[in-house]
Amino acid sequence: MTDRSGSRIDHLNIAVPDLAAAMAFYEPVLASIGIAQMLVVPAGDHGPAMTGYGWSDRKPFFWLVDDGTVGTNMHLAFTVDTRDEVHVFHQAALAAGATEREAPAVRPEYHPDYYGGFVDDPHGINLEAVCHHPA
């Protein structure tokens, strides 16, 4: 799947108003690009309940945090290795309840090989799968 060697972000927490609803959306969408639930942290002294997702050979890097407010203009892009994976992610998101934002296509305004597809998740977060390799 995706080459993760260049990542410099350790993890990202996304606040959602309803963790169960967010998990129901994200689990099949993330699974379409090889990302799975790895850890569930119940609410406690540390704060609200959280669920962490990642690649099976690593630690969680993407967290959904319960009882929060989604920020405005939030955008999250997942890098994939092929343009086909962009389509698989895009279709999985739509099937899970996302709203179409922009269908998968070349985005030359970013660079000649930028191929991305965009959706809005049920909480309004702009999600993207992007491939940076030529066709």
> Which one of 3.10.180.10, 1.20.120.80, 3.30.70.260, 3.40.50.2000 gives the CATH number of domain 12-131?
3.10.180.10
Alpha carbon separation from 133 to 49, 50, 58, 88, 111 (Å, rounded): 37, 34, 24, 16, 10
Q: Tell me: the pLDDT tens digits for 5-53?
A: 555 678 999 999 999 999 999 999 999 999 999 999 999 998 999 999 9
Q: Tell me: the pLDDT tens digits for 74-126?
A: 999 999 999 999 999 999 999 999 999 999 999 999 999 999 999 999 999 99
Contact 14, 62 (CB under 8 A): yes
Higher-confidence residue of 91 and 57: namely: 91
Q: Could you give the CA distance from residue 3 to residue 78 in angstroms, rounded to a whole number?
A: 11
